[in-house]
Amino acid sequence: MGAIRKSSKEALEEKIEAAKERVIRTKAAHEAAVDALQKLLDKQTAMRSEEIARAITNSSKSYEEILRFITEDDA
């Protein structure tokens, strides 16, 4: 006896299911990568904030002078 050949409908349904599974795996990997990126960006923001705070603390300029410099319009 020969092998039973799948109908084109069955083959198509199998391909659709396989594609759905790939989408699910890809989405999970994408979400994990986005989460990892966000954590790194948050860490970078925190480090920058700490660096600015240290610079302000160690500066000979007053708080008002620093604030005026930061907020002045370059126009």
Distance CA 20, CA 28 (A): 12
From first to last of its 75 residues, the chain has per-residue pLDDT tens of: 455 677 899 999 999 999 999 999 999 999 999 999 999 999 999 999 999 999 999 999 998 999 999 898 875
Distance CA 16, CA 51 (A): 52
pTM of the shown model: 0.64
Concatenating the DSSP letter of every residue in 9-73 gives HHHHHHHHHHHHHHHHHHHHHHHHHHHHHHHHHHHHHHHHHHHHHHHHHH-SS-HHHHHHHHHS-
Domain spans in the chain, listed from the N-terminal domain onward: 8-71
What pLDDT is attached to residue 29?
95
What pLDDT is attached to residue 1?
47
Distance CA 62, CA 69 (A): 11
